[in-house]
Structure formats: structure tokens, C-alpha cells
Homo-oligomer: A and B are copies of this chain.
Amino acid sequence: MSEPAAKAVQDFYPDDFAHCYGCGRLNAHGLQLKTRWEGDETVARFTPRPFDIAVPGFVYGGLVASLIDCHAMGTAAAAADRAAGREVGDGPASRFVTAALRVDFLEPTPLGPVLEVRGRLKERTERKTVVEAWVSAEGRVTARAEVVAVPMPAGMALSESAGTVMPGASQGSERKTPPPPRS
């Protein structure tokens, strides 16, 4: 490729929010998905492990849903940067959480090829961001999704008093007040 790859959103989540199983760079057991802009779409790529199957030869739907989930949150964060006139990496990325996940599985996803997860911003307000996402294998779309992202509720931030900047976290959320974090 002649152009360098764009920066990955997840590399700019503040450390305290970088432990997600699906996309946290600090979760050694996790999938470490990376979401980048490609024009007006976002893209992430992932090769499922041999055991990520529903039945032999086909990828587990729960993994497909998980990739979509994290990529949509990354897309919401990337869109928040752009809305603020920033590019990814100009500062810490906003951390969103999923309010609603809707996935249509169009056909079985074959195990083997790199999966491409794409996203596109559908709607963005202070309260919620709606992302369209789809997964393809060797150019064939196997799942389509719509995901509603909301700014992370304050109660999920373990270290607000520890100096971590959490853009967006103080905004209204559609969620109920969460239970206190476990120590």
C-alpha cells in the first residue's frame, strides 16, 4: 500500500478503558480488534481462531456479533473525534458502550478467510450514535447490523478521580444508573 494505515481508535482509549475483551489493547486474552477510517467508512479485520466455530467450517455467530459490537463502538468514537474537528489520535478517544445490538446473519461465515468488518455512521446526537456495520469474508457479506452506542455511563468509570479524561462520559445516557463497580 502506498498510504500508511490510519491510526486505530482503540489505541487511543484511555488505559482504564482499554481492557475490553473484544478490542482492548491491554486485554492479553482478548481479540484486540482495531478500527480505522477508510474514507467515510471504518474497517477492522480479524482472522478467527480454529475454535471460533459454530459447527466445523463456520464461524461462531457470537464472535461475529462481538466483532460488530466493538467495531461499532470504535466507529462511534472515531465519529466523535471528527464531529469535534479532531482526527483519531489527536487526543484520547471517547469510550462508548452498546445500548442495542441488532445483527442479521445472512449466510454462514466461512472459517479460514480474514473477516472484514465495516462500519458507517448513520446518526449522531449527544445522546446516541447509530452505526451500520457489516461483516464479509472474501467479498461476500455474511452479516449486517445496526448498533446503538451511548457514552459510557459515569458509574462504569472506575478511576474518574484518578485523572483519566473520559470525553463524553458526563453526558446524559439512556441507561439506568448502573450498580457500583465491584472492587
* A20-B53, A105-B98, A175-B107 known; A66-B62 Cβ under 8 A: yes
Interface size on A, residues (CB 8 A): 58
Does A46 lie at the interface of the complex (its beta carbon under 8 Å from any beta carbon of B)? no
From residue A97, how far is it (CB to closest CB) to chain B in Å? 7
A178: chain B residues at CB < 8 Å are 58, 107-108
Does A156 lie at the interface of the complex (its beta carbon under 8 Å from any beta carbon of B)? yes
A156: chain B residues at CB < 8 Å are 54-55, 57-58, 108
Does A86 lie at the interface of the complex (its beta carbon under 8 Å from any beta carbon of B)? no
Contact B51 A182 (CB under 8 A): no
Contact A51 B66 (CB under 8 A): no
Q: Tell which of B98, B175, B182 touches A110, judged by Cβ atoms closer than 8 Å.
A: B182
A121: chain B residues at CB < 8 Å are none
Contact A104 B100 (CB under 8 A): yes
Does A92 lie at the interface of the complex (its beta carbon under 8 Å from any beta carbon of B)? no
Does A63 lie at the interface of the complex (its beta carbon under 8 Å from any beta carbon of B)? yes
A153-183 Cβ-contact flags toward B at 8 Å (1 or 0)? 1011110000000000000000111110110
The 29 sampled A-B contact pairs (Cβ below 8 Å) are A16-B56, A21-B51, A21-B54, A21-B60, A21-B62, A27-B53, A54-B156, A55-B156, A56-B158, A56-B181, A57-B181, A57-B182, A58-B156, A61-B98, A61-B101, A62-B66, A65-B66, A66-B66, A97-B105, A98-B105, A100-B102, A100-B105, A101-B105, A105-B175, A106-B176, A107-B176, A107-B178, A108-B155, A108-B156
